[in-house]
Amino acid sequence: RQQVLIVAAQRDMVDQFMQVARKAGLTIDGIDLQAFALLRSVAPPVAFVDQGAPEADGASALINIGAGISNLVVASGGSPQFTRVVNLGYEALVQALMQNRGIDRSEADLMRLTVGLSGGATAASDLEPTTVGEIHTVLDATCEGFADEIRRSIDYYHSLQHDASIARILISGEGALTRNMGDYLAGALHLPVAMGNPLQHIAENKSKLPQPELELIAPRLAIALGLAFEDEE
C-alpha cells in the first residue's frame, strides 16, 4: 500500500496570491502548501534511513499560529500524516482585548506579548495585579475556542488509526510569541508543548541581525524559511 496526499486549492485564492507577487515585481517559481513549508522548517530532523517510517517516540503536531488562521500538520518520519487549517489566530486575542479594555490595537497587541495568557510566568510590568488577572481572563476565554479546535483536530487524527500517535506539539508563527501560549496549550491539551525552531537547518547566520535577535523572531519565520528550503531537498 502506498499513501497518497492530495492537495486542492480554490483557483481564485491562488490567483490573488499570484497577482500580489506580480505587483511586487516577483517571478513566481512555484506554489506550495503552507503545511509542507512548516514541515520542512519545524519538524524534528529524521535520519535518511528512517524517512517515512513511524517514529518510535510518536508523531509531532506542528502548529503555526497566524493572524486569522492557523496551520496544523502532523508529522511522523519526516512525512505529513494529516493537515488542517483552523480559522482562528492571534488576532482574535488582540480584538478581545481592544473590546474589553477600550484600547487601540497596538496597545492590545503589546499586552498579548507582555502579559498574555495564564499558566506561566508573568512579566514585570507597571500594571496592577488585578489588571493582569483581568487580561489573563479575557485572553484565556478567547483562546479556549482555539484550544478546542486543536483538540478536535488531534482527536480526529487519532480516530483515523495512524501508526504513530501524537506525542508532542511544536508551535510557531507570530501567535506562538503570545506570552504563556505554550503553557496554556500544554494544560488544555495535556501534551508537552515547545517552541518550534525553524533555524535548526540554518548552518550560518548571514543576515544582518545578531544571532540572539534572530532567534527571538525565529518563530515568525517558520513558513517563509520552509518555502525557501524547498529546493534543498
Residue 189: CB atoms within 10 Å: 17
Rounded to whole angstroms, how far apart are CA atoms 99 and 111? 13
Where b means 16+ CB within 10 Å and e means fewer, 35-50 reads bbbbbbbbbbebeeee
CA distance 118 to 139: 8
pLDDT given at position 233: 44
pLDDT band at 119 (very low <50, low <70, confident <90, very high): confident
Q: Can you name the residues that pair with 194 across neighbouring β-strands?
A: 170
Task: Note the pLDDT tens digit of each residue in 63-116.
Answer: 999 999 999 999 998 889 899 999 999 999 999 999 999 999 999 999 999 999
- Report how far residue 108's alpha carbon sits from residue 96's, in angstroms, rounded to the nearest whole number: 9
Q: Which residues contact 68 (CB under 8 A, 6 or more apart)?
A: 87, 88, 89, 91
CA distance 30 to 120: 41
Contacts of 200 (CB under 8 A, 6+ apart): 41, 45
- 12-43 pLDDT per residue, tens: 989 998 999 999 999 888 888 889 999 999 99
